[in-house]
Amino acid sequence: MASRVAVGIAGTGSYAPPRVMTNHDFEKLLDTSDEWIVQRTGIRERRYALPEQATSDLCIAAARQALDNAKLDPKDLDLVITGTLTPDYLLPACSTLIQHALGATRAGAFDVSAACTGFLTAMHTGEAFIASGRAKHVLVIGAECLSRYLDMNDRGSCILFGDGAGAMVLAPLAECRQGEIVRTTLGADGAGFDLIHMNGGGSRVPPSAESVARGDHFIRLKGREVFRFAVTKMADLIAEMVAGYDPSEISLVVPHQVNARIIEAAVARLDWSMERVFVNIEKYGNTSAATVPMAFHEALEQQRVEKGKLVVFVAFGAGLTWGATLVRW
């Protein structure tokens, strides 16, 4: 068997669109309050893409920053992989628009669809390409324009979500010398299909005047049921990633920013303190595939990640899908 190439994180980037949607803005639209939203979710505001922006535009900004930080040229890229549930078009892939805009002329490009687990799915795919020697530099992105798919009359869902993009450039560890990907896991259970889904717009319920009138293109969720699943799954995944390591080796957990209460409950189950957990949901809400790479980039900027220590990424979402990664920074 060919030896496995160790893979690292050469650079990160993040982009949040400029339009701020606060809880007070929702108070004007719906029967809700800043107090309820903060208490139940931890969210104070989220960003929405400008009318002229689509998901690839957010990705391009995050990707340029990640390439700059990695000190690499777009022409160095072998692959672009984007995890998103809100691509610019159903056809072609969002990644091809990004590849072209960046001038990544040597790169292949495709999207992965795993909802909030989309970034970790893209990351694990990129890691596998490099580990097997089939690629050297892979740009992986998690990005969403969820604001385009929110039912602004459904207070149980619309207040949760925002838009944004996070990117990473993966490279052989021997070259980038940081961020070794040590462990990965991905899982799924399609029995949970109806907990979070968009009924319309695909081949089962193609877009029509009737489907749009019914609001079939909006995100629907069973929040309470997702909540229960999420707490246990997040705790189990973190435990799986750190098994066998001394707790003093763990620098930071970067979880999917789903709901501050879910994150706190999962961490309490593990008997850990929130000091070692990165949360920025108050500023961005749940940006689905974008939460983990945006949060990790911000954690690095804030110097929350200790050199040589371990970082855990953990996410789950519609499908149901889930994933986790252990990185030695």
Q: Is 116 a catalytic residue?
A: yes
286 is an active site residue: yes
Q: Measured from the CB of residue 160, what is the shortest distance to ligand UT7 in angstroms?
A: 6
Nearer to ligand UT7, 26 or 129 (CB): 26
Residues 6+ apart with CB under 8 A from 201: 90, 207, 211, 216, 217
Q: Residue 166 CB, nearest distance to ligand UT7 (Å)?
A: 15
Residue nearest to ligand UT7 (CB): 223
Q: Which is nearer to ligand UT7, 221 or 239 (CB)?
A: 221
Q: In the bound complex, what is the minimum distance in angstroms from residue 43's beta carbon to ligand UT7? A: 9
Whose Cβ is closer to ligand UT7: residue 40's or residue 64's?
A: 40
Q: Which residues bind ligand UT7 (CB under 6 A)?
A: 32, 36-37, 40-41, 116, 155-156, 159-160, 196, 221, 223-224, 226-227, 258-259, 286, 317
**Considering 94, 158, 286, 297, which one is annotated as catalytic?**
286
Selected catalytic residue, list 23, 59, 69, 256: 256
The nearest distance, CB 99 to ligand UT7, in angstroms, is 27
Q: How far is the CB of 144 from ligand UT7 (least distance, A)?
A: 11
Quick one: 36 or 149, whose CB is closer to ligand UT7? 36
- CB atoms under 10 Å from CB of 152, counted, come to 13
Q: 256 an active-site residue?
A: yes
* Complex with ligand UT7: residue 99 or 286, whichever CB lies closer: 286
Q: Which entry of 23, 59, 94, 116 is annotated as an active-site residue?
A: 116
Which residues are tagged catalytic? 116, 256, 286
